[in-house]
Amino acid sequence: MLIKPASDIRSSEITDKKLYLNRREFLRATSATAATAAVAATGVLGACALLEAKGAPHGRKLPNIKKGFALNVGDKLNAWEDITSYNNYYEFGTDKSDPAEYAKNFKTEPWKVTVEGECAKKGVMDLEDVLKGETLEERVYRHRCVEAWSMIIPWVGFPLANFIKRCEPTSKAKYVEFYTLYDPKQMPGTRVPVLRWPYVEGLRMDEALHPLTLLVAGLYDEVLPSQDGAPLRLAIPWKYGFKHIKSIVKVRFVERQPLNSWQQQAPDEYGFYANVNPGVDHPRWSQSNERRIGEFLRRRTLMFNGYGDQVASLYTGLDLRKNY
C-alpha cells in the first residue's frame, strides 16, 4: 500500500487506486506494520520526547501512520487506560466509566456517513470512502473538557478540510453541522432525555477548514475504541471537549449557525464557540485551571488551550466573553 504524505497528494490523485485506504487492510493487523506503526506512535515527535507513549497491544493496529506535529513540549502523554476508561459519551451513560462498559459491543461496521445541505457532492458514503486517499497521521493534542479536566492524547486522523473539500461546499455553506448516530437499541443512555438526541455539533466553516481540525479514526497506533467515538469523531484542540462529536453519521453544510446539543440544553452554560478560555468561567465553576488526569497538582488553563498562535486570528473582532 502506497501512502504519500497529505501535502504530496494533489486533488487529481485523490481517487488514485494506489492511494485507496482499504478498510479491511486498515483493520487487519500484520506484525510488521504493527511494529512500524508502534514506532511511529511512540517515537520522538519534533524536538520533544514524549514519555509513556506506548499503546496497548489490542490487535487492531493501524498501518502506515505518519508522524504529525506535537506542540505540547514537555507534556506527558496520557496512558491508553486513562483515555479509554474516563470518557464523556452520554449515549452510553453519564458516568465517566459508563462508555467503556456499555459501548463494548457497539457496532461500527458497516458504517455510513450522509453528506447533505449546501454542497455539490451530497449522498451516503461508506466509511471506506470517507477514508479513501487520506494519510492517517498522529497528532498529539491537549484535550480540555469544560468540566476542567484535561488529557494529552495521540489521536490518529486526517484534516477535516480534506473531507470538506471533497464535498464541494457551495458559497452558502457558512457552517458545518455534525450528527452522532442515534440508536436506542445500542445506546442505553439515549433512553434518558439528558440531552436532545441525536447529539449535534457545529463549526464555522473557517474553523472546520483549519489545519488543526482533525477527523479521527484512531488512538495511539490502533483503531479508535468505541468509548472514544469510533469509527469517526472530531478533534478540535482549542475548543472544549463537547465540540469533539463522536460516532459521526451525518455532515451537513448550512448557512446559519447550528444549535449544538449542549447549547440547546443549557444556553447560559454552553455556547456555540466553546473556545477554551481561562478568563470566562462556567457559571458554576472556574475555567482558570484544570486537573490533568493522572496528575495531582492543578495546572493553569491556557487561552485557546495553548493553540493561540495557530487560531487566535480566527476570532479577531469577536467578543469572546459574549461568544463563549
Site residues for Mo ion per CB under 5 A: 88, 145-146, 241-242
Q: All 3 cell numbers of residue 275?
A: 473556545
State which residue, 68 or 241, has the beta carbon closest to Mo ion. Answer: 241
Nearest to 171 by CA among 117, 223, 217: 117
For 181, other C-beta atoms within 10 Å of its C-beta total 21
Q: Which of residues 189-208 bind ligand MTE (CB under 6 A)?
A: 199
Chain-centre distance of CA 150, in angstroms?
15
For 82, other C-beta atoms within 10 Å of its C-beta total 17
Q: Tell me if 216 contacts ligand MTE by CB under 6 A.
A: no
State which residue, 70 or 216, has the beta carbon closest to ligand MTE. Answer: 216
Minimum gap (Å) between residue 243 Cβ and ligand MTE: 7
Q: Tell me if 180 contacts ligand MTE by CB under 6 A.
A: yes
Residue 222: exposure state from Cβ atoms within 10 A (0-12, 13-18, ≥19):
buried
CA distance readout (Å), 31 to 36, 57, 62, 63, 112: 9, 11, 11, 10, 29
CA distance 50 to 303: 23
Minimum gap (Å) between residue 206 Cβ and Mo ion: 23
Minimum gap (Å) between residue 261 Cβ and ligand MTE: 8
Q: All 3 cell numbers of residue 188?
A: 442505553
Choose the one of ligand MTE, Mo ion, none that binds residue 89, judging by a C-beta under 5 to 8 angstroms depending on kind.
ligand MTE
Minimum gap (Å) between residue 239 Cβ and ligand MTE: 10
Minimum gap (Å) between residue 83 Cβ and ligand MTE: 6
Q: Which of residues 79-118 bind ligand MTE (CB under 6 A)?
A: 87-91
Minimum gap (Å) between residue 263 Cβ and ligand MTE: 12
Evaluate whether 135 touches 5 at the Cβ level (below 8 Å).
Answer: yes
Chain-centre distance of CA 70, in angstroms?
16
Give residue 287's region: left, alpha or beta (phi > 0; psi -120 to 50). Answer: alpha
Choose the one of ligand MTE, Mo ion, none that binds residue 199, judging by a C-beta under 5 to 8 angstroms depending on kind.
ligand MTE
CA distance 151 to 143: 5
Query: Using the rule CB under 6 A, which residue among 55, 241, 258, 306 binds ligand MTE?
Result: 241
Q: Tell me if 166 contacts ligand MTE by CB under 6 A.
A: no
What's the first-to-final CA gap in the chain, in angstroms? 44
Q: Tell me if 228 contacts ligand MTE by CB under 6 A.
A: yes
Question: Considering CB under 6 A, how many residues would be counted as binding ligand MTE?
Answer: 16
Q: Which range of residues in 7-15, 51-59, 237-245, 270-278 is near ligand MTE by CB under 6 A?
A: 237-245
Query: What is the pairing mode between strands 214-219 and 299-300?
Result: unpaired
Query: Using the rule CB under 6 A, which residue among 23, 244, 250, 292 binds ligand MTE?
Result: 244
Interface residue list for ligand MTE (CB under 6 A)? 87-91, 143, 145, 180, 199, 228-229, 241-242, 244-246
